[in-house]
Structure 1
């Protein structure tokens, strides 16, 4: 998947944006990073793919402010890109064009995409092929730098793995299943009102689901059937944790809507032995530490760098 930062910016901007390049016509320096310059033209070129689809729309003050914030964030990314590249050059880390093309070829093969389909996917996310190649290059460099400078400083002990296992045994049940019913409403407030009616005995959960729910199986009282515990999203697990048969959850957010779950029945399973899940637990503990260590690494690079931002 193209899990890149440009994708999230694009989703955010879909609410309200058109280009405002006309406000800044003259090219100028917007940042200097250890003597290497970033120009306004380069920044606008980075911003342009995200805004092109909104050309011709009128912008209010809030939208213009949003674009300014976007530019600042993209400039920040460009600065980080330069710092990573400079650090890669320092340690003689190189990524060839052939490596990048091989990565793209394998990506297309895994996802059964033709070149045209691939380009269309990029376009939907506001990216050009060159944008994507740059991101691939930066990511390969990032991972190699992480391997050289970061990973060796992240440690997960056997004691931590055992403690996590003992505290989350139910997450590793082999057969634990739970029979759930769901009520899904447009807002948290509406869900709270319906839950209050259920708790007051004004209607049953099933009656409320049939009448008000906008979720799956509403006509069947919101009945989702049995679901494997391991397949439940974290929010669902947290919501139903500790509930007994017949009890309902507090209202919680599900895809920006108000949700209520009812535990109809629970079938307990046996937890897998620690040896079988040890690697999985190590990854669970390791990943957030690795990400935090990388953020610290980037902060240290920025603190040591000479950065002059002029925007």
Structure 2
């Protein structure tokens, strides 16, 4: 399977283009969220997407168990998305510039000359271009709403982080290893001459002082290109021998020379070296802050969405449940029954 066939994996999971004849389908509305609607067909598409996503990690009876469990919140998540996109409109948030920027980043990542070429590749996957852009737009709008309305209100102090670290030190223990970024010039995508030229050009730009992440976004064929080449942490002894040998000579912050591998030519950069054991708090403070932020934003976001529901008109078809809606307590139900 070529990279272009899996090119849009994360976004494709959010967009399942239908080839069914719309004239033969009676759209049943299963939810109204203010002026927006969710149809049964949209819900079934999301079910298909969820099953396809879970099938990457599960199979057989376990797949069915996971699908049944995670399906419970599927309609909730669709309502959440509609509420946040509507809130973005209320806040006059415009994401059009960011949509164009994101599309161009994706075009560059897959080394396509123009956005028109990128559109053709998207449509080859059976995806409607406007649907593709709309999902990117919705994701950007939701991210902005969460950042403004929820994330900006979360405060984590240095003392909070230190206290959490002290109480959860084993969670931050690490084996010896390195955190790496890569630039891969793929032998499957380029001729030997192109591999040689692109690899040498990339190395020359790094040596000239260009940021490794920027060079990775420009040249790398690896899946990590859009993240600046960051490929994560590797325990000592788990890398391919030729890469292990090159990395052994590097200090944190250093980039290697060209490394010939079976996948193509690589350049790696050591972002961090870790010793085995529990690191000092100062070395992992930002990581601890991120852990605390993630914990707080989940509960804060859930409460924010519950409040949006109170301000909104939401009506569901019989047989459907919004698990994000607040339920009356047992005492309230009992009092109503008297």
* Shorter-normalised TM range: 0.3 to 0.5
